[in-house]
Amino acid sequence: MASMQGKTVVITGASAGIGKELAVVLAGRGANVVLAARSEEGLAQVKHQCEQAGGRAIAVGTDVADPEACRRLVERAVEAFGGIDTLVNNAGITMWSRLDEVKDLSLYEHIMRVNYLGAVYCSYHALPHLKARKGMLVAISSLTGKTGVPTRSAYSASKHAMQGFFDSVRVELMGTGVDVLVVSPGFVATEIRARAVGPDGKPMQRSKRDETLPTMDVHTCVAQIVRAMERRDRELVMTAQGKVGQFLKLVAPGLVDRMARRAVQERDS
């Protein structure tokens, strides 16, 4: 990706998982990487890896649920590198509970604030800089942003909101030179499920999914994201099942509901 040489990319949720891998890969292609997450220790490690890969990187401790923190993140990126070419909205948390088992309803607000509003805040503050460079907005959503999934109602709702927001902004930005890419992965081998919140709103600290089942590795996931960014695609739906599901939802929505229920029953302990 020679097109990334000298470009400045801001990545939220960069201390682990998809965000971490994407940061290192882009740094290896000569990008200036701005790493954002709450874990400053984790960010320091990723910053070192990015620099070892040959890129320039800064770490900015950021809670995307705080709009002021998002403003400061963008400000730091511009101070360090003079502008922003790409913003990757990747920060996110998930849940594991049926609605009728939830004990703390605030988890719905918390997940929406991190997954959806965090992307809104960052995108709002970065947009003038993206327009100046005809850059790109990237949203790391999920297949659950296309189809509802049991035990993930708050997560799915936040990803549906994310999908609608970026689809709308894409239309608003027509003619500005700024492109919008929405990425919808399926199950990826990251730590997000181990950090899922349970019915009491507290982290479960373990994945309830059987992680021995087939899961896309994070390297394959990031390679697909990088390719889509390079082509400035509008959307990336991962897995054959996810692509088929989009068609089936139009012609046989009840079947998709049953498939989603069965998939979760098979994968959850």
Q: pLDDT at position 65, please?
A: 97
Q: How far is CA 189 from CA 45, 162, 186, 208, in A?
A: 20, 22, 10, 14
Q: pLDDT at position 256, please?
A: 52
Q: What is the C-alpha to C-alpha distance for residues 249 and 259, in angstroms, rounded to an integer? A: 11
Q: pLDDT at position 249, please?
A: 52
Q: Any idea which fold 2-239 has?
A: Rossmann fold (3.40.50)
| CA–centroid distance for 196 within its chain | 15
Q: What is the C-alpha to C-alpha distance for residues 20 and 187, in angstroms, rounded to an integer? A: 17
Ranges of residues in the chain whose predicted pLDDT is under 50: 1, 210-212, 244, 247-248, 251, 266-269
What confidence tens digit (pLDDT) does each residue in 46-88 have?
A: 999 999 999 999 999 999 999 999 999 999 999 999 999 999 9
What confidence tens digit (pLDDT) does each residue in 247-266 have?
A: 445 545 565 556 566 655 54
The set of catalytic residues is: 155
Q: What is the CA radius of gyration of the chain?
A: 18
Q: pLDDT at position 1, please?
A: 44
